[in-house]
Chain A
Amino acid sequence: MVTSTAHRLAVLRPNRWARLGALLLLAYVIYATAQMDVSWERVAAGLHNAAHFLNRLFPPNFSRWELLSKGLLESLEIAVLASTLGIVLSLPLGFIAARNLMPGWASWPARLVIVSARSFHPVIVAIVFVKAVGFGALAGILALTVASIGFIGKLFAEAIEEISLKQVEAVRATGASFMGIVAIAVLPQVFARFIGFCTYQLDSNLRNSTMVGIVGAGGIGGTLFAAFQRFDYDYVCAILISIIALIMIGEMVATYVRAIFIDGMTFAEMFHRRLSALGTRPERRFDDE
C-alpha cells in the first residue's frame, strides 16, 4: 500500500519548471490582454453585433456572378502561372542550395535567396510588386512566384540533402557526367517528394491568389475587399462561398495528382474507390500559409 502511494506521488509530482512556465504564461496573457485594451464590454458588444452581422451575410447574393467568376478565374490564372514560374525557378536554386552536391560558396548565396523569399508574407511581397509593375494580375503572379521559390526551394534542397549517396557513387563510377548523375542518380530519388511539394504549393498559391487582390494585385481578393468596405455583406458571403469551393476543388485535384504520380493510380481505380482514395495521406506536414 505504501509503495503504491509512493509510486502514485512520483507520477503526479508537480514539475517545478512546468509550474513556473505556466505562471509566466499566465502573467504574459494578463499583460498582453491589458496592452490590447480588450474588455468584456467590447466582447459582449461584439457578440451582440454578431447576430446582426450574420443576418446581413445571409442569404448570399449571387446576382453579380459575372464579376465573381471573372475574379475567380483571374485568381486561378495567377495561381497556375505563379506555380509554374516558381517551380521552374526553384529547381535550379534548390539544387545549388543542396550542401551535399554543391560547394559552400555556391550553396550559401542560394540559401540566402530562399530564406529571404520566405520571410515575408505573400501579401506584403505583393505590395512591393504592385508598386513595381502596377495594379493587376502580374503583381500577384510575381509575388506568389517569390513565395513558391521560398517554399519549394527550401524543401527541395532538404530532400536532395537526404538522398542516399550510394546511387550517386555508382553512377559516377560508370563515368557519367555531372548532368548524367543528376538525371539518373539524384532526380529519381526526390521525384515523389517533389511532386508532393509542387501540388502542395499549387494548393497554397490558390489560397493566396484569392487574397493578394486586397492590395491590388489581381484576382477575386480585390472584389471581396471592395464589397466588404461597401458593407455589401451578402455579396461578401457569395464570394467567400465561391472561394472556399474553389479551394476545396483545388485540394481534391491535388490529392488525385499525388495519387497518380506517387501511388501509380489509374483512372479505373480512381473510379472504383473514389472516396477511399481521398484518405491517402498526402504530404501535408506544412500548412500555409
Chain B
Amino acid sequence: MNDVPATHSWRRFTPAQRLARFTVYLAIVAAIVTSIQTVEIIPEFLSDAPEQVADLLRRMWPIDVAYYPKGVHAALMETIHIASLGTLLALILALPVGILAAHNVCPFTPVNLVAKLILVSSRSVNSLVWALLFVGIFGPGALAGTLAIAFRSIGFVGKLFGEALEETSRGSIEALAAAGAPWASRLSFGYWPQVKPSFWSIALFRWDINVRESAVLGLVGAGGIGMTLDSALNLFQWNRVATILAAIFFVVILAELAVTFVRKRII
C-alpha cells in the first residue's frame, strides 16, 4: 500500500548534482570545439605525413650499430648516473621536508605549510625547466641534469613520504612516548619501521621515472644521451637517431624489469 505514484521516476542524482555534471560536460565540449577551431594545423603537412614517415623509416633503417660503442655508450651511462645520483640526492633532501610536512610528526601548522609549499613548487616545475635553470647557473653538463632531476623529485618523494607518515598507526608511537622516548627515537623506532616499505617503493618508482626523464634533459644541454640525440638530430643523421632511440628503449625496459624484480625481493 505504499503510495509511490506511478509517474514517479527514480533518479540517481539530485537536480543540483545533475546541473554540476552537465556544466562539466558542456565545458568539455566547448573546450574541444574551440580548440579544434582555433588550433593551427596545416593540412598540407597532414596529407604529407605518410610520405614523411616512410622517408623517416628509410633513413633510419640500417641502424648504425657501429656508432653505439663510439658515441652512445658513454652518454647512456651518464644518463643512468644522472638518474641515480639525482634520485639519491632527492631522497636525502626530501626526507626532512616530508617529515616537516606530516602534521602528526611535526605538529606545527605553519611549519607544515612551509614544507608543503616547498613540495608544491618543486613539483609544479617540469624537470626540463629545472634543467634550463641549472644550465643557466652551472653551465651545460651532467651536473645541471643531476640537480634538475633531484629538484623535480623532491616534491614527488616528499609528498608521498609525508602522506605515508600521516597514515601510520599511532599505537607503537604512543607506547614509545609513554616510555619517555625523545622525538628522534620515536621517529626512528616508531615511524620509520612503519613507513620503510613505502619509502623504498617510492624511491624505486621515482628512479624508474627519472631514467626516462634524464634521457631528454640533454635536449636543453643538461648532459646524458639527450645531447647525443640532439646533435644527431641537428645533423639529420637518422640512422644514428635510430640507434640512440633503440638504446633508450632498451635501458627503459631494463630499468622497469629491475624495479619490478627489486620490489618483489625487498618489499
A residues apposed to B, CB below 8 Å? 11, 25, 28-29, 32-33, 35-38, 42-43, 45-47, 49-50, 53, 73-74, 76-78, 80-81, 84, 119-121, 123-124, 127-128, 131-134, 136-138, 141, 207-208, 210-211, 214-215, 218, 224-225, 228, 233, 236, 240, 243-244, 247-248, 251, 257, 260-261, 264-268, 270, 287-289
Contact = CB atoms under 8 A, between A and B. Distances in A.
B213 interface: yes
B52 A133 contact: yes
B143 A42 contact: yes
12 contacts: A32-B85, A36-B143, A36-B223, A42-B143, A121-B216, A127-B229, A132-B52, A208-B126, A260-B21, A267-B20, A287-B209, A288-B209
Contacts of A50: 137
Given A76-B35, A121-B215, 19 more contacts: A29-B88, A33-B85, A36-B82, A49-B137, A49-B138, A53-B133, A77-B38, A80-B35, A124-B245, A127-B233, A132-B56, A133-B52, A137-B40, A207-B126, A214-B128, A214-B219, A224-B132, A225-B220, A266-B17
Interface of B: 13-14, 16-17, 19-21, 23-24, 31-32, 34-36, 38-42, 45-46, 48-49, 52-53, 56, 77-78, 81-82, 84-85, 88, 123-126, 128-129, 132-133, 136-139, 141-143, 146, 155-156, 189, 209, 212-213, 215-216, 219-220, 223, 229, 233, 245, 248-249, 252-253
A-B pairs, 6 with minimum CB distance:
A266-B16, A46-B138, A134-B45, A77-B35, A36-B142, A32-B81
A224 to B, nearest CB: 8
A191 to B, nearest CB: 12
- Interface of A, helix, strand, loop or mixed by DSSP: helix
B136 A228 contact: yes
A35 B143 CA distance: 11
Contact of A247 (B41, B124, B212): B124
Contact of B39 (A137, A247, A261): A137
B245 A120 contact: yes
A60 to B, nearest CB: 14
A203 B214 CA distance: 21
A87 B59 CA distance: 32
Contacts of A133: 45-46, 48-49, 52
Nearest to B81: A32
B24 A261 contact: yes
Contact of B143 (A46, A73, A265): A46
B213 A138 contact: no
A267 B81 contact: no
Contacts of A244: 124-125
Contacts of A49: 137-138
Given A36-B78, A36-B146, A260-B21, A120 B220 contact: no
Given A80-B35, A128-B56, A134-B42, A289 B138 contact: no
B137 A136 contact: no
A175 B258 CA distance: 46
Contacts of A261: 21, 24
Contacts of A288: 209
Contacts of B212: 119-121, 289
Contacts of B14: 266
Max count, chain A CB within 10 A of own CB: residue among B23, B136, B141, B220: B136
B143 A38 contact: yes
A120 B56 contact: no
Contact of A136 (B19, B23, B40, B146): B40
Contacts of A127: 229, 233
